[in-house]
Amino acid sequence: MRILKSFKFMIPAITVVFVLIINILNAAIVITTVKNHAMSEALEKNTIISEAISNKISLYMHNAVKIVLASTKEINKHPRDFGKLVGEIDRLYVNYAQFDLVFFHDKNGKLLYSNPINPQATQDYTYTDRDYFQQVIQKGDVYISRLYISRVLKVPHFVVAAPILDENNKVLGVLGAGISLVNVYNVARDSKKPFQGGIRIIDSAGALMVDPDRNLNNEVVLADDFKININDETTTLYELLGRQKEGI
């Protein structure tokens, strides 16, 4: 009888323990499911917002290209009239707030005029090392540079550059307009929808354009050594850009 009583007592006890374990497992599954659903929902929402930001920045850059090309078209009507060139540079700088600098290089990379003016940048440097100069001189077409520290302004900016052509369509020099990193940041942050988490944007050369934890107004920070964990995998922002992947 003692064995029977003990056995009868153990059955409900085991059942209770089993039910408790099942309930705990169910609760863990529910929590994990809810968490995964919330993260997936956030990813989907933020992916939509990131695409919208990308489109806004692309449109912003496209409009800058159109403005620069319109100016080169006017200058190319009288390409050797330096006074007209200077007047057009001044007009661009005064009338278009997205440009923090407008300038002209001759075909040897010498800075002949800029607004604003920095005498040191004019006297001490040539600009043949800049990708925008090389591309415009070699290909004779408009080009958007990688992110640089401006030698004139000492701040990070992109350059929209286009050729100035002579009467025989030979490149005489390069008209350039700088777009400050601050302006790009403002375009990226001007979102109508709330964004869950910080926004990081890197250019195709791997330089951080926008970062929630850093002030990038005075330096160019490369993203290739910036480690992040995404989808349980450690990677870098630059690798992520190369694979064009998304994740949590």
pLDDT digits (tens, 9 = 90+) for 180-238: 888 887 887 775 555 555 666 666 666 666 666 666 566 566 655 566 666 667 766 55
Q: Which residues contact 39 (CB under 8 A, 6 or more apart)?
A: 248
Indicate if the pLDDT at residue 146 is higher than 60.
yes
- Amino acid letter at 88? E
Look at 30 and 76; give whichever has higher pLDDT: 76
Closest alpha carbon to 137 in 123, 149, 152, 127: 127
**pLDDT value, residue 222:** 62
Task: Kindly state the average pLDDT of the residues 15-44.
Answer: 53
**pLDDT value, residue 2:** 46
Q: Is 86 exposed, middle or buried (0-12, 13-18, 19+ CB in 10 A)?
A: middle
Task: Kindly state the average pLDDT of the residues 159-171.
Answer: 94
Task: Kindly state the average pLDDT of the residues 124-151.
Answer: 93
Look at 175 and 120; give whichever has higher pLDDT: 175
Peptide bond into 212 cis (omega under 30): no
Host H or E run for residue 137: helix 131-139
